[in-house]
């Protein structure tokens, strides 16, 4: 029995040491990786200093050219869109970190249906941000909701599980060489989208997401940060009521809502799209100019 206990303790100590050493190694990898996500998240967590911060997922990342917005608004702009960040839980996490050290003049949040509909795994991609577990209690509250808080508390190595391969690859190949203050231009596609489908309005509403959208709004109000909501174009027809759930929240707080998707912007130009959900650089520059013009007019009222 004594030998068994000694063996068990030895194994546990070995696992603990391996976990902590592995965590230290992966932390170094994460801080030096140049993959498509790690450099941007590093910047968002501790370095943002711009007047205007754009947040959202890949549609934000690829659709808003920072320099065009900056020239139009005469303010510094950073595109903080994170590929795959998926929904409002991730955007709340990012904003919590930014506001812990910097107060921008304006936050522009790119929304999509994932920000209000029921998903089978709404916290799946929050693990992208796990390397920064323990840095901000407000942000860590999202990990509690996701049910991963104690796993990250227990295992330092597990925090890097979601992006381990991508981060390691980012040590060898940089994917952010042509970045424009966070904006990553999507390349011209080999083929443009051909089939123009119809995007049905979703009726399943995740109440918790709307709670966190309001919490996101409250964070901005606490710091007197002007908040703007927008939905950029997709190559797809859609009902005008597609975002009524989110528009009602925006109206409740008197937040401007720029909806270019329901307007059908660029539906006559499939050559502006990389795929049905994303513009490539040519389309992004045209769209950003339109959004910048509309936003500037709104701010001048």
- Among 30, 301, 174, 239, smallest CA distance to 247 is for 239
CATH superfamily of 2-299: SGNH hydrolase (3.40.50.1110)
pLDDT given at position 179: 81
Whole-number Å distance between alpha carbons of 226 and 260: 20
Question: How many CB atoms are closer than 10 A to CB 228?
Answer: 21
Question: How many CB atoms are closer than 10 A to CB 292?
Answer: 19
177 — pLDDT class (breaks 50, 70, 90): low
Whole-number Å distance between alpha carbons of 55 and 111: 9
174 — pLDDT class (breaks 50, 70, 90): confident
Ramachandran angles phi, psi of 108, nearest 5°: -110, 115
- Among 22, 23, 53, smallest CA distance to 40 is for 53
pLDDT in tens, 208-257: 999 999 999 999 999 999 999 999 999 999 989 999 999 999 999 999 99
Whole-number Å distance between alpha carbons of 162 and 172: 19
Sequence spans of domains, the chain: 2-299
Strands 226-231 and 236-238: unpaired
User: What average pLDDT does this structure show over 4-8?
Assistant: 75
Q: Which whole-number Å values give the CA distances from 103 to 49, 85, 106, 142, in the listed order?
A: 8, 22, 9, 21
pLDDT given at position 286: 98
Residues 6+ away with beta carbon under 8 Å from 70: 52, 76, 77, 181
């Amino acid at each position: 029995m004594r030998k068994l206990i000694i063996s068990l303790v030895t194994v546990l100590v070995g696992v603990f040491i391996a976990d902590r050493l592995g965590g230290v190694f992966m932390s170094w990898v994460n801080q030096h990786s140049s993959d498509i996500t790690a450099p941007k998240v590093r910047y968002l967590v501790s370095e943002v200093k711009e007047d205007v911060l754009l947040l959202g997922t890949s549609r934000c990342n690829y659709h808003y050219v920072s320099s065009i917005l900056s020239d139009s608004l005469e303010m510094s702009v950073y595109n903080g869109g994170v590929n795959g960040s998926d929904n409002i839980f991730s955007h709340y996490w990012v904003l919590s970190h930014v506001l812990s050290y910097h107060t921008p003049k304006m936050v522009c949040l790119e929304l999509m249906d994932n920000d209000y509909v029921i998903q089978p795994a709404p916290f799946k991609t929050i693990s992208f941000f796990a390397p920064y577990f323990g840095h901000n209690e407000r942000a860590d509250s999202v990990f509690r909701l996701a049910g991963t808080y104690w796993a990250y508390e227990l295992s330092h190595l597990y925090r890097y599980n979601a992006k381990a391969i991508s981060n390691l690859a980012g040590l060898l190949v940089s994917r952010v060489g042509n970045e424009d203050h966070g904006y990553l231009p999507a390349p011209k596609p080999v083929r443009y989208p051909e089939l123009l489908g119809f995007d049905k309005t979703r009726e399943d509403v995740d109440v918790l997401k709307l709670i966190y959208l309001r919490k996101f709004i409250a964070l901005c109000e606490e710091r007197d940060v002007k908040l703007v909501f927008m939905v950029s174009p997709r190559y797809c027809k859609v009902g005008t009521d597609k975002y009524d759930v989110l528009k009602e929240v925006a109206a409740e707080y008197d937040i401007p809502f720029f909806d270019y998707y329901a307007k059908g912007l660029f539906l006559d130009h499939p050559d502006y799209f990389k795929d049905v959900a994303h513009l490539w650089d040519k389309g992004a520059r045209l769209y950003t100019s339109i959004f910048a013009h509309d936003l500037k007019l709104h701010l001048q009222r």
